[in-house]
Structure 1
Amino acid sequence: MDLLTLQKKKDDCRTWKNVEPWFEQLKKLSEIKNNDFDIDYGDWFSVGKKEDLSEEEYELIVQTAKTLIPWRKGPFKIFGLEIDSEWQSNIKYNLIRPHFNLKDKVVADIGCNNGYYMFRMLEDKPKRLVGFDPAPLTLHQFEFVNHFVKSDITYEMLGVEHLEYYNHKFDFIFMLGVLYHRPDPVGTLKSLARGLNSKGEILIDTFMIDGEDEICLTPNKRYSKIPNIYFIPTISALTNWLSRAGFEDMEVIATTVTSSEEQRKTPWSFDQSLEDFLDPNDRTKTIEGYPAPKRVYMKARKIQ
């Protein structure tokens, strides 16, 4: 696989008709003197304060952030501007945070979106952080934030299918909210295993259904209004998938029901969110009649 050609997509996409306005807006940030601004690694990942900027510079920040709507992951506070994303990703991050140690490790985040989790991970001082996500909008959101953070995070416009061909392997891989988008879940997990160093670890989360049997739900066309959802397993089925893919020491960290506290409409997101995806007469079901979204968080170790 020619990764160099694929990686060139990051540069090529700047000229796409729908992407060029984002790139042109980002270039204007060079007008702001790029000092070493204070960073807060808390729930609202924050960089700088409003008083660090002139009124004109602050308005440029506001305009740039609004140009990059919708913001699905966050929240961020950029020079005091609160970007209240659709997902309160701090809830997920705080849930998994006690279950990993990234110090001096080579880390990948598959499906990294705009990098919210990776920005939070900087506090752990990993040796290297690489995000994989093929979406141009989230790339530009990442670059907007990172222009002021000035981290050495690498953002690749690649997917999980490219991981095993990457130019180095990883000690720890996160894949949060991706597995149910893949038509071959076991093959996807095998790709994670091939991308790991010996005894490397993964931490994933995926939709799940209740039950003791080793089965999964295969939604017809859409699940919670999402078109590309393929398989939603029981925990037993997911454990089997991981075992077949070459993992051991599977540990269930948590199971959670997605709530409107974690996912909801904001002025920074789409005009529909979780409340529109559930049956208005029975919030335990999706609009299609399936069980409402529930997630399992699981950690596992590569066998060799």
Structure 2
Amino acid sequence: MHKNRITIKQKLEAKNIASLRHKIASMPKDKYNITIDDIIKIESSDIEYKEDIINLAYELKPWRKGPFQIFDNLINSEWNSSIKYNIIKNHLNINNKIVADIGCNNGYYMFRMLELNPKKIIGFDPSAHCFCQFDFINHFIDSKIKFEMLGIQDLTHYDIKFDTILCLGVLYHRTNPIDCLKILKQALNLNGELILDCLIIDSIKPIALSPLSYAKMKNVYFIPSISALRNWLERANFKDIEIIATKKTNLNEQRKTEWINGESLESFLDKNNPAKTIEGYQAPKRIYLKAKG
């Protein structure tokens, strides 16, 4: 009966998002010097609006992905996303191709991919907060990147197919990972390529962990072994599966900073044994791979 009722909290969040978007749109459209590297830097000699712009960046907390630097101020995001990007960068063959980033957050990876000269980049993320952060950064960069407030399930009805799809840190948040892989496969053009990043558990068996909570995350449903993940991909009709890298997440990559609210990796691990999560599972380890559609 009350399923579709908008709560007071949702109304306040919507009002706050609308206010932030208005502030972003009101920022000056001066020329900025942009450097796209491990730290995406935005610089300007005009000091008139700097304080207002930095204050707006703080209003847009928490910053999960980055880092970005606005003038002399480093937005030291929770994740040093340059580490992940540099793992996959040399495996991105996207010159003059149509690219999707599923679960794109604030667009850090999309901005980094501009250097590889894609034909088009479209990001998908249903978070209004992430959209605001993207709008904020893109106000300065003024790229042609498109941000869709849609989820992975919406690819089924999307009117564009892709040559390359990035799906980074998404699959283990889905209740049916094989169906999600099938959706990604269907969204690829012929011989298109998937770049996937997923949490894994160490086992030679084709099994998956299904925790109620993992590293204090309630929305982690299945963490596969490598062989299980291969099986999922094959069931979704992917081929030519190639492992790029496996890597344990450490405190250089994910950590608490002044730009987030709440806890980060250090609080998610067992204080007496950081090789385990606080729940007693194997600490976060990821696989990076690519597969042909």
1:294 aligns with 285
**Corresponding position of 2:183:** 191
Residue in 2 aligned with 1:127? 119
CA deviation after TM superposition for structure 1 residue 101, in Å: 1.7
Tell me the secondary structure at the aligned position of residue 19 of structure 1: helix
SS at 2:216 equivalent: coil
Supply the AA of the counterpart residue of 2:244.
I
2:242 aligned with 1:251:
yes
Conservation of the 8 A alpha-carbon contact between 2:17 and 2:128: no
Instruction: Please state how far the C-alpha of 1:37 moved relative to its aligned partner.
Output: 1.5
Q: 1:32, CA displacement in angstroms?
A: 4.2
103, 116, 124: which one aligns with 1:111: 103
Q: TM-score, normalised by structure 1?
A: 0.91
Aligned partner of 1:279 in structure 2 is 270
The corresponding residue for 1:12 is none
Deviation at 1:275, TM superposition (A): 0.4
Greater than 3 Å deviation, 4+ residue runs: 28-33
Identity score, percent: 50
1:80 paired residue among 72, 76, 79: 72
C-alpha displacement at 1:16, in angstroms? 4.1
Quote the Cα distance in structure 1 between the aligned partners of 2:105 and 2:161: 21
Deviation at 1:299, TM superposition (A): 0.3
Give yes or no for the alignment of 1:99 onto 2:99.
no
3-state SS of 1:225 partner:
coil
CA RMSD of aligned residues (A): 1.3
- For residues 245 and 155 of structure 1, the distance between their equivalents in structure 2, rounded to whole angstroms, comes to 26
Q: How many residues align?
A: 284
Unaligned runs of 5+ in 1: 1-14
Shift of 1:29: 4.3
Residue 41 (str. 1) matches residue 36 (str. 2): yes
Q: Distance in 2 between matches of 1:28 and 1:79?
A: 18
Identify the range of structure 1 (15-24 vs 184-193) with the bigger mean alpha-carbon deviation. 15-24
Would you say 1:25 and 2:20 are equivalent positions?
yes
Indicate conservation of the 8 Å contact 2:102/2:151, yes or no: yes
* Matched residue SS, 2:13: coil
Change (3 A) 1:32 1:232: closer
Any stretches of 5+ residues in structure 2 without a counterpart? 1-9
**Match 2:256 to one of 253, 260, 265:** 265
**TM-score, normalised with respect to structure 2:** 0.94
* Conserved? CA contact 1:161–1:188, under 8 Å: yes
Q: What secondary structure sits across from 1:267 in the alignment?
A: coil
Contact 1:52 1:79 in 2 (8 A): no
Which residue pairs with 2:46 in the alignment? Answer: 52
Q: Distance in 2 between matches of 1:53 and 1:78?
A: 12
Contact 1:26 1:64 in 2 (8 A): no
- 1:137 corresponds to which residue? 129
Q: What CA distance in whole angstroms lies between the structure 2 residues aligned with 1:169 and 1:254?
A: 27
For residues 27 and 148 of structure 2, the distance between their equivalents in structure 1, rounded to whole angstroms, comes to 26
Q: 1:170 aligns with which of 147, 162, 167?
A: 162
